[in-house]
Amino acid sequence: MASRRKRPRYDERERLHAIECVSDDDEVLVHDISDTGLHTSSYTVSMPQPPVFHEAPTELKTPATFGEDSNMGVAEASSIGDVEVDSELGASKEEQEEQTQRQKLLEAYMEKLDQASFILMHREAHAMINQPCSCRRSGHLRLVRCLDCDQAPLLCPECWTDMHRYQPLHWAQVWDASRGYFKRQDISTFGYRIVIGHSGHEPCMSGTDGPLNIVDVNGIHATRVHYCRCEGPPDKWKLLLQNGFFPGSVKDPQTAFTTRVLRHYQIINLQSKMPVYQYMKVLRRLTDNVFTGNVPEVVKQFTLVMRLWSLMEAKRRAGHLHNMDSLFPRRNSNSLVVYCPCCPEREVNLDPKWKETPNHLMHLHQSRFTIDGNYQANHILKKGAKTDTYLWRDNGYFENADDYDRLCGFKEPDKTEKSVCGHLGALNKQNRAKFKNTDISGIVNVQCDHIFVLASGNLKLGERYIAVDRVVARALHHRQFGDDTEQPPITLSYDAMCSYCVNLPARWDVTHPELKHLLRHMRFVIPVCHCRNHIDSCEPLYLYVYKDGVGWFPAETAEMYWPILNATGAACRQMNLGPREEGINMSHGDWNWRKVVGISHQLYKDLNERKAIYIEKRDHFAALCRIFASKVKIWNSMDRSPQVMNRRNVQSVYMHSSEKAPTLHSLVDEMKRSREVVQTPVGNSRIGAVASYLLKGLDIHLEQEEVSRLARKYRNRPWEDLKGLLARRAKLQSNLEKFREHQEQILPGIFDELHTAVCEPEEERLCLPSDFSAEERSLLKLSALATKEVKLLRARLDLVVHALRIVVRIYSAAILRKIDDSRGQVQNTRSNQDIASIREERDQLIQNYASLRERLSRLEPKDMQRWPELTVADTYRKPTEQRRVPGMTRVHEGSLWKLPTQSQGRKGNKDAMPVGSIRGDMVMLEGSAQHAEAEDGEPFCNVESFNYSGTQMTRSKQPTWNPGNKRGKKKINEEPIEAENDEGITVKDDGWIWNPGQLQRMTGAEMKDWEETSDRVQWFRAEAEFERAREEVEIKHAEFARCIRFFACMRDKWTTCAEQSAFPGHAAYAREHSDIYDALRQDAETKFSQCGIPMLRTVPSGKTLADQVIAYRTQEEKYFDFDRQVGRPLFQDPTTHGTPEGFRDNREDVDS
């Protein structure tokens, strides 16, 4: 097949006779190379022009697959599939229009690629080779250049050495006249010795020389150094450190590493998890990519030095060299942990008047922690691993290994620890086979809701609760929670919380008696995704949305750090225990520091998002209060506290008390039992007879849809067996005749025109009320029948949706079973046939839904908001048979799983929630910090005004921070909560679809009771979501204030260290970090001023944030027509260990 483009190829020369170079006066010269040297001639060569692309041939030969004629022309080929094809590029114009900017740039560079290669090839030689050097010394020719220096001139060896006295680790490119190319050499090959001492000036007269391997970012240098002896026998270790080289040993170092290479590898390892061995392989190849084996191997020395360097960096950052511990008496001594700026810490960022906060507003000062285990960060059992040294000892995120193992008493896990909820594999699948060949099966982390790692601990043979207790206790000790009986509240999340917290007091009596008093301040929740897999009684007890004072805390943020830790675990899996623990400690510290830098941007996004959610929840709840105005006062007096009958039986106002749900059959039976009559064209008829007639008509309508599908299939595939279609038509015709007889009894003589049209049975008009327009129904007196048909259509739609959900579940499972189990052609063919059959049934149900919806739209157009259009994409469902993978939380299920059922959208509810909305308890699964990787890369506000503004560069334009949302996201007003929402009020409905119960026939009383329960549950759930969203907005304002106070405190502490430092270097480091924290403070204040609610952002003198919250809540109560606090019982959490006061707005506080 002919090529679409013809590109000219340049003739390849057999050998290089001339090199074109640009001289200092921009003259292009040609230098002929020979064995005797380089001779310049006046002959010039012009630079190559960009390649010329020839036009495509007039006739394009295409494969035979395009048609019978393999010589089809371009014009004919362009018409294939009704897509216009460009004759030159062979691509559609639509594809050309969709080219991205990157593709355009790539194409522009491809046109210049040959020219760029030609230009770079010129650099292999130089125009000034063998010319006299600029030093004008006799016999000194230009032979040496440096590619590590930018635009450096060609010099003689002596001048090059003088120029690199302070850059001795640059590689020298020396021209070899005999071979005709540059060779790489170390500076020691010129007889130069790197002076260690005298600030790199002239060597000491009495100094000593010696070889030294120096590792830098550009390679490994086997060079020579000169040690100063001015102060006596040289202390090589000290001299090297003083001059920026980290020695590989103490006594007689033979290898040293520049601080550049240590810093370079540290950042690379933290960002990409590159192991030491691979990095040293890179440096050896940078030194010599041909004879790499001849380059010195320094992996062992580098590994040791990096362990020491990482520890030193952590100590510098924590202020150990500045005696920072004395300024933070409540923190652990010598702690290397990076603290969260938003979590409450006494004498750092906690409001000094926090104890004056009313009990129902204590969520403003609460800490929220998550617990989760990770089995990717395990450790392979190795000989000698237990004898390694732990450099961090007890100062990092891990407890001292010996104390941890002794106090946890690691042994075979106790079977009594297994959870009642059988899905908890971390507990119920604890066996030695699972952790074969590992001495550490994983780690357990305690993190705050801002995804800062607080503490870690090793796991052996599963998640033993005694090991989890040790990690929780370490996290609490980091902020010295255990030294006072009065503490802010703590909310603890764990996927096995339903069994973990039961015996927590008994365990802490023995292991942590100093922390037991904190139990009365603790609340316990289960992450929202994990809670759906627990037994039903766990939801009202441990789901965050049903707990007052917890805020919007889905607690799924624990797993956001796992992708980073998984990579770290893989890199550390076969290390000795000491380096493994240090590697994980460094990963934790670096993650936390990146979160510190980006915390203000994270809070800005979170607060804007929470405000939008609060508006939605507030308006939704207010709408329900107006809809159920006659009932809300009774409901408001009910107790929200869950009532524990036994371990598996918990009653709650947020749950259905009856498992029964109304079905189509129960609805029809209720109509049949009714003695009411309905008006028909010939008089009044009993509802029961009318319901039977309408239901039969809808059944035949769906049967017509099925036969129509078969008829279309036969037309498209005439080779199919016709017997099936004919049999279905015959059955449909028989059912139609019976229906006509029934129809004649209900509506005699009114539809004589039915027998005039000759058509197939699937095309016959049934003449139900939905087959006529509103004027025709009024004229024929069918309005009353239309009202009954609306009810039956809703019930029938509900039944179709229910069946479709079952089919989609089967379809998803069938695909997974095919992937897992089908092997070979026979099994795959059979599986494909089964899947095709299920898919066909799914498509038919979607068609049934569409046809019934169309009938309903003719009778009740307002119902279209509750019953939106349904496509195959809307049937998507997260596969429950697969293990949950990262990112699944952000994948929303299709609209099918949000459609209303009979329990939703009661008659009179004109503001039903559109399908595009999200379930209330699933909106914010991510919790805080949705972009865990991105915060530290966001630009800061007004960098020019900061004392510390980072690395200074000359930019084309200073980046400015736009407080608006990124492209594609809905904009949020700066003051959305205080502005009146003029849009239509939407109601978010939660149905019984995931727990339908026994679909049995129900009596009239049972149906009425079920409807009452559905309305009540809907109202209470909406109230809970509204209150949690309101609490979260208040919490985010408190966190922003604590973040600003934290940065101000750290600025002041580092300023104090700078003032108290006796050494200039220590003082300079402290002043720099003081300015860093001051810059972070200014950035946080700027963002807070742009997104905070003025009433909550600005606290007047003498007031507290709690006072502002009370005033703000009073203002927000105008959206409700009744006093929500009158007669409302106090909320009591049965999962807490202690006697905390109830969570309810104090009337005196609200009135004031």
Give 884's pLDDT tier (boundaries 50, 70, 90).
Answer: very low
Final residue before a domain boundary, out of 600, 623, 644? 600
Is residue 172 one of the residues assigned to a domain?
A: yes
Four-CA torsion 972, 974, 976, 981, nearest 10 degrees: -80
Burial of 55 (0-12, 13-18, 19+ CB in 10 A): exposed
Residues 777, 728 within the same domain = yes
pLDDT at 830: 75
Read off the tokens for 473.
């206790």
| 940/512: higher pLDDT | 512
Q: Judging by DSSP bridges, how do beta strands 490-494 and 522-525 pair with one another?
A: parallel
In-domain check, residue 743? yes
Say which residue, 1072 or 655, is predicted with more confidence: 1072
Q: Answer whether residue 536 is part of any domain.
A: yes
Determine contact, residues 382/321, Cβ cutoff 8 Å.
Answer: no
The answer to whether 540 touches 546, Cβ cutoff 8 Å, is yes
Q: For residue range 68-127, list pLDDT tens digits in order.
A: 333 333 333 333 333 333 433 445 555 555 567 888 888 889 999 999 999 999 999 999
In a domain, 971, yes or no: no
Question: 551 and 688: one domain?
Answer: no
Give the model confidence (pLDDT) of 1069-1091 as tens digits. 999 999 999 999 999 999 999 99
Cβ atoms of 1090 and 963 closer than 8 Å: yes
| Judgement on whether residues 780 and 874 belong to the same structural domain of the protein | yes
Residue 524 lies in a domain: yes
pLDDT at 970: 41
Kindly give, in sequence order, each residue whose CB lies less than 8 Å from that of residue 527, ignoring residues fewer than 6 positions away: 370, 493, 495, 554, 555, 556, 558
What Cα–Cα distance (Å) separates residue 1138 from each residue in 476, 482, 544, 932, 1132?
18, 16, 19, 36, 11
**Domain containing residue 111:** 18-122
Q: Which of 251, 281, 316 is the last residue of a domain?
A: 316
Percent of the chain past pLDDT 90, that is, above it, reads 38
Give the Cβ contact number of residue 716 at 10 Å: 8
How close are the terminal C-alpha atoms of the chain, in Å?
A: 87
More confident position, 874 or 632:
632
Per the model's pLDDT, the better-predicted residue between 478 and 659 turns out to be 478
- What is the C-alpha to C-alpha distance for residues 243 and 241, in angstroms, rounded to an integer? 5
pLDDT attached to residue 295: 94
At 387, is the pLDDT very low, low, confident or very high (cuts 50, 70, 90)? low
| Residue 575 resides in a domain | yes
**HSE-up of residue 1014 (Cα within 13 Å, Cβ side):** 24
Q: Which residue has the higher pLDDT, 352 or 92?
A: 352
Task: Find out whether 573 and 378 touch, Cβ atoms under 8 Å.
Answer: yes
- Taking residues 1101-1130, what's their average pLDDT? 91
In the sheet with 144-145, reading across from the earlier edge strand, the strands are: 144-145, 172-176, 181-185
- For residue 220, the SS3 value is strand
The pLDDT assigned to 841 comes to: 80
Last residue of a domain, one of 600, 616, 644: 600
Residue 49's pLDDT is 42
Higher pLDDT among residues 823 and 288, named by residue: 288
Average pLDDT, the chain: 76
Q: Residues with Cβ < 8 Å from 825, sequence gap 6 or more?
A: none
3-class DSSP state of 646: strand
Q: What is the largest CA-CA distance in the chain?
A: 128
CA–CA gap between residue 1015 and residue 345 (Å, rounded): 43
* 715 and 862 co-located in one domain: yes
The pLDDT of residue 927 is 37
pLDDT band, very low/low/confident/very high, at 908 (cuts 50, 70, 90)? very low
572 in the same domain as 682: no
- Distance, CA of 925 to CA of 938 (rounded, Å): 23
Whether 8 is covered by a domain: the verdict is: no
Per-residue pLDDT at 208 exceeds 90:
no
What backbone phi and psi angles, to 5 degrees, belong to 219? 145, -170
* Stretch (H or E) spanning 820: helix 783-821
Tokens read off for 908: 């009179």
Q: Is 689 helix (H, G, I), strand (E, B) or coil?
A: helix
Query: Between 824 and 1059, where is the model more confident?
Result: 1059
Residue at 622 is within a domain: no
| Same-domain status, 884 and 744 | yes
Bridge-based pairing state of the strands 194-196 and 208-216: unpaired
Same domain, 65 and 98: yes
Query: Distances in Å between the alpha carbon of 69 and those of 64, 66, 73?
Result: 7, 8, 9
pLDDT of 703 reads 84
pLDDT(424) > 60: no
- Count, residues in the chain: 1152
Distances (CA, A) of 406 to 462, 470, 585: 17, 11, 21
- Cβ atoms of 244 and 1065 closer than 8 Å: no
Contacts of 131 (CB under 8 A, 6+ apart): 141, 142, 154
Q: Could you give the CA distance from residue 249 to residue 692 in angstroms, rounded to a whole number?
A: 94
Total number of domains in the chain: 5
Same domain, 527 and 395: yes
- Tell me, what's the pLDDT at 683? 59
Q: Is the dihedral of CA 892, 893, 895, 899 positive or negative?
A: negative
Is residue 757 located within the same domain as residue 827? Answer: yes
Nearest Cα neighbor of 902 from 1046, 792, 806 is 792
Please tell me whether residues 284 and 381 are part of one structural domain. no
Do 184 and 212 lie in one domain? The reply is no
Contact 481, 518 (CB under 8 A): yes
The residue to which tokens 């594809």 are assigned: 95
> Any idea what the Cα angle at residue 159 is, between residues 156 and 160, rounded to 5°?
80
Structure tokens that stand for 143 in this block = 């032979």
Same-domain status, 230 and 104: no
